């Protein structure tokens, strides 16, 4: 019985630790951290019948005009800064509730870091590349009329770790874990013993990801699985990332059961999820399998674009760069914008700012001095490189017959992650053409590569931020050639190179203290909400859930505030 228990422990531990490793790019992971605003779980948001008061307020154009201080100003119930996933999800959810909402975007297109490109038969992502399906995402898709546009990748596609010149498929099922060749038998035993609860007591001080994994699962699991996993999700440094802040749902597993092991907590968590799915069953949303990854037929930017279509260009405005937000004497907020038509002013009863941390600091520092602490949230540089190669350029070991290719051979897998100890500069590669149909023309495979991150400047010179696009492509091609291509493979067809100077917020040790200080300042400003991936978590699904969950909070505030 003990060997079986250890095998189960190892399996559960490995599955828990790598469940999200390939579901996203560094710009949008599918690990969901805790909701740091104390929001309740979001369920379906029905479209209500508007009251007469709401209908009058919204008017023909949906926006009210007034005069304040002798200058023309627009008045709305809620102003949302930013049209990324967080802002778009909140804006649409409020619109469904009949709230008079205006969403503004500084760029000339909606979506924030969600950027989908299409050219010459190729369709690719330059930010987040997939989402892990959740009830909130699926409900939002249905409400937006996108149910038929949702696509899912084959949930059986393997995920790989590159280790010492070989690709190792991570176990996708419990029964696969004992045969996972990347870990030796002693290393599996060490992980299993820790997973069932034989671990050192949790320290009083905040733990890093490295410290937590060493304590629970041992050095080998950390070096071979968690190190590349953290690179793939956060492009971060596991010695600096806070386990409680960055991966709270895994960290809290040791608190859930009678033992500090991850296995008991994992079993209880799975039971909770099953009960939640039963209680909140929604027959209208698309059916998906656990471990599946999702997108839309025309890419992830479909969601924010559709929100703009549904709300209208008058309610979702691009080219509107906010310069400052101040609180009026009557409790409302006045926002100043630079727009294509000159300076504009919007007065709102509530405001949600979903811009990145550093931009939020600039916008709000005159009103909430504590937001200066947001500058302490580090964003490393990451470059996404999308390339295509002829199918025959790939090693036979990563190809097999595929139904989505009509029985022809093609790449078979989600992608591969690379431990930093392997001296390969690329963080990881998503095998994009393997995930969804109709993303590449006949005869090609497409790869989305990420390079850079928090540890890149410490290991390489010059850092990725100082390399030209051509130099970055050269590095990526060399890494891909080593891992996936046959000898003598041709140079790639370069589809896109996008450098993100501030890519992913790092939930490093001390993050919770930063948020606590900022929240103290926000307490003086009722009706002001902060969102974005530095608040909710870096996953596409985190940002959707924040928007859905925050909408009823905004609605409740509006009911209780003057003019409600």
CATH value at residue 355: 3.50.50.60
Cα 373 from Cα 25, distance rounded (Å):
27
423 within some domain? yes
With 80 as the cut, is the pLDDT of residue 429 above it? yes
With 90 as the cut, is the pLDDT of residue 456 above it? yes
| Whether 359 and 468 share a structural domain | no
Helix (H, G, I), strand (E, B) or coil at 266: helix
Counts of helices then strands in the chain (DSSP H, E):
20, 21
CATH of the domain at 467: 3.90.660.20
Helix (H, G, I), strand (E, B) or coil at 101: strand
| Whether 17 and 88 share a structural domain | no
| Whether 244 and 384 share a structural domain | no
Q: How far is the CA of 367 from the CAs of 228, 326, 364, in angstroms?
A: 41, 6, 5
pLDDT tier, 265 (very low <50, low <70, confident <90, very high otherwise)? confident
114 within some domain? no
CATH of the domain at 225: 1.10.3110.10
DSSP annotation of 64? E
| Whether 326 and 394 share a structural domain | no
Give the DSSP H or E segment for 423.
Answer: none
93 within some domain? yes
DSSP annotation of 225? I
Provide the token pair at 106.
Answer: 């500084």
Cβ proximity of 89 and 310 under 8 Å: no
| Whether 526 and 495 share a structural domain | no
Pairing of strands 528-530, 444-452: unpaired
| Owning domain of residue 411 | 380-500
143 within some domain? no
pLDDT tier, 11 (very low <50, low <70, confident <90, very high otherwise)? low
215 within some domain? yes
| Whether 385 and 452 share a structural domain | yes
Q: Summarize pLDDT for 485-520 with one digit per residue, the tens.
A: 999 999 999 999 999 999 999 999 999 999 999 999
Beta strands in 434-492 (DSSP E): 444-452
489 within some domain? yes
Q: Summarize pLDDT for 194-211 with one digit per residue, the tens.
A: 999 999 999 999 999 999
pLDDT tier, 404 (very low <50, low <70, confident <90, very high otherwise)? low
CB-based burial, 336-369: b 16+ in 10 Å, e otherwise: bbeeeeeebebbbbbbbbbbbbebbbebbbebbe
Q: How far is the CA of 500 from the CAs of 107, 193, 261, 404, 416, in angstroms?
A: 15, 41, 38, 32, 21
- Is residue 115 left, alpha or beta, with left meaning phi > 0 and alpha meaning psi from -120 to 50? beta
DSSP annotation of 30? S
pLDDT tier, 10 (very low <50, low <70, confident <90, very high otherwise)? low
Cα 177 from Cα 387, distance rounded (Å):
33
Domain count, the chain: 3
pLDDT tier, 43 (very low <50, low <70, confident <90, very high otherwise)? very low
Cα 314 from Cα 99, distance rounded (Å):
15
pLDDT tier, 529 (very low <50, low <70, confident <90, very high otherwise)? very high
With 80 as the cut, is the pLDDT of residue 213 above it? yes
Cβ proximity of 393 and 407 under 8 Å: no
Output phi, psi for 454, to 5 deg: -65, -30
State yes or no: cis peptide before 512, omega within 30 of 0: no
Q: What percent of the chain has a predicted confidence (pLDDT) above 70?
A: 86
What is the reported pLDDT for 336? 98
Which residue in this structure is represented by tokens 């279509």?
309
One-letter-per-residue 3-state SS of 517-541: HHHHHHCCCCCEEECCHHHHCCCHH
With 90 as the cut, is the pLDDT of residue 15 above it? no
Provide the token pair at 352.
Answer: 């949600």
Last residue of a domain, one of 453, 470, 500: 500
Provide the token pair at 320.
Answer: 């509107």
CA atoms within 13 A on the CB side of 445: 30
The separation between the first and the last C-alpha atoms of the chain, rounded to the nearest angstrom, is: 63
What is the reported pLDDT for 51? 38
Last residue of a domain, one of 485, 500, 515: 500
Instruction: From 444, 410, 428, select the one nearest 480 (Cα to Cα).
Output: 428
Q: How far is the CA of 365 from the CAs of 185, 319, 340, 369, 410, in angstroms?
A: 55, 22, 25, 5, 52
7-11, 302-306, 322-326, 506-510: least confident range: 7-11
| Whether 430 and 476 share a structural domain | yes
Cβ proximity of 388 and 452 under 8 Å: no
With 80 as the cut, is the pLDDT of residue 188 above it? yes
| Whether 488 and 409 share a structural domain | yes
| Whether 183 and 275 share a structural domain | yes
CA atoms within 13 A on the CB side of 469: 11
142 within some domain? no
Provide the token pair at 287.
Answer: 């059916």
| Whether 468 and 512 share a structural domain | no
Mean pLDDT, the chain, integer: 88
| Whether 454 and 364 share a structural domain | no
Give the DSSP H or E segment for 264.
Answer: helix 262-279
With 70 as the cut, is the pLDDT of residue 343 above it? yes
| Whether 268 and 333 share a structural domain | no
136 within some domain? no
With 70 as the cut, is the pLDDT of residue 259 above it? yes
Q: How far is the CA of 334 from the CAs of 8, 79, 331, 349, 519, in angstroms?
A: 57, 10, 10, 9, 21
Q: How many CB atoms lie within 10 A of CB 265?
A: 25
Across the range 218-244, mean pLDDT stands at 95
- Is residue 197 left, alpha or beta, with left meaning phi > 0 and alpha meaning psi from -120 to 50? left
Last residue of a domain, one of 500, 519, 543: 500
Helix (H, G, I), strand (E, B) or coil at 296: strand
Helix (H, G, I), strand (E, B) or coil at 509: coil
């Amino acid at each position: 019985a003990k060997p079986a228990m250890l095998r189960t422990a190892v399996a559960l531990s490995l599955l828990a630790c790598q469940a999200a490793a390939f579901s996203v790019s560094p710009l949008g992971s599918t690990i969901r951290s805790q909701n740091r605003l104390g929001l309740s779980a979001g369920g379906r948001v029905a479209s209500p019948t508007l009251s007469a008061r709401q209908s009058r307020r919204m008017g023909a154009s949906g926006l009210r005009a007034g005069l304040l201080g002798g200058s023309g100003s627009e008045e709305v119930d809620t102003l949302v800064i930013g049209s990324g996933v967080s802002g778009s999800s909140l804006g649409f959810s409020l619109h469904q509730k009949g709230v008079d909402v205006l969403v503004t975007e500084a760029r000339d297109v909606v979506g924030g870091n969600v950027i989908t490109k299409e050219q010459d038969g190729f369709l690719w992502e330059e930010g987040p590349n997939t989402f892990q399906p959740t009830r909130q995402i699926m409900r939002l898709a249905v409400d937006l009329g996108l149910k038929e546009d949702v696509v899912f990748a084959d949930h059986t596609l393997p995920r790989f770790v590159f280790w010492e010149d070989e690709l190792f498929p991570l176990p996708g099922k419990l029964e696969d874990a004992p045969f996972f060749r990347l870990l030796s038998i002693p290393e599996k035993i060490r992980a299993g013993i820790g997973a069932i609860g034989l671990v050192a007591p949790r320290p009083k001080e905040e733990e890093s990801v490295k410290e937590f994994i060493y304590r629970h699962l041992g050095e080998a699991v950390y070096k071979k699985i968690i190190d590349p996993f953290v690179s793939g999700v956060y492009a971060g440094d596991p010695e600096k990332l806070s386990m409680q802040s960055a991966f709270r749902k895994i960290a809290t597993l040791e608190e859930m059961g009678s033992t500090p092991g991850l296995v008991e907590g994992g079993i209880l968590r799975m039971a909770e999820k099953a009960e939640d799915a039963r209680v909140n069953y929604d027959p209208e949303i698309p059916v998906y399998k656990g471990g599946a990854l999702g997108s839309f037929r025309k890419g992830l930017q479909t969601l924010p674009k559709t929100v703009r279509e549904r709300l209208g260009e008058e309610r979702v405005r691009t080219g509107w760069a906010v310069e400052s937000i101040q609180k009026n004497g009557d409790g409302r907020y006045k926002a100043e914008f630079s727009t294509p038509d000159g300076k504009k002013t919007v007065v709102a009863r509530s405001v949600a700012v979903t811009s990145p941390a550093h931009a939020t600091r600039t916008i709000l520092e005159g009103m909430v001095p504590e937001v200066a602490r947001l500058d302490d949230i580090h964003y490393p540089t990451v470059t996404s490189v999308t390339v295509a190669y002829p199918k025959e350029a790939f090693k036979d070991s990563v190809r097999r017959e595929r139904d989505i290719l009509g029985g022809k051979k093609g790449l078979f897998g989600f992608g591969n992650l690379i431990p930093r100890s392997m001296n390969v500069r690329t963080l990881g590669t998503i095998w994009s053409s393997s995930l969804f149909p109709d993303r590449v023309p006949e005869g090609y495979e497409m790869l989305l590569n990420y390079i850079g991150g928090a540890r890149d400047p410490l290991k390489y010179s010059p850092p990725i931020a100082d390399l030209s696009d051509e130099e970055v492509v050269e590095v990526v091609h060399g890494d891909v050639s080593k891992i996936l291509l046959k000898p003598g493979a041709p140079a790639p067809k370069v589809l896109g190179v996008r450098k993100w100077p501030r890519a992913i917020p790092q939930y490093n040790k001390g993050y919770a203290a930063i948020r606590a200080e900022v929240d103290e300042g926000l307490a003086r400003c009722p009706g002001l909400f902060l969102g974005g991936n530095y608040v909710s978590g870096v996953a596409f699904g985190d940002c959707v859930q924040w928007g859905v969950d925050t909408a009823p909070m905004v609605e409740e505030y509006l009911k209780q505030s003057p003019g409600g």
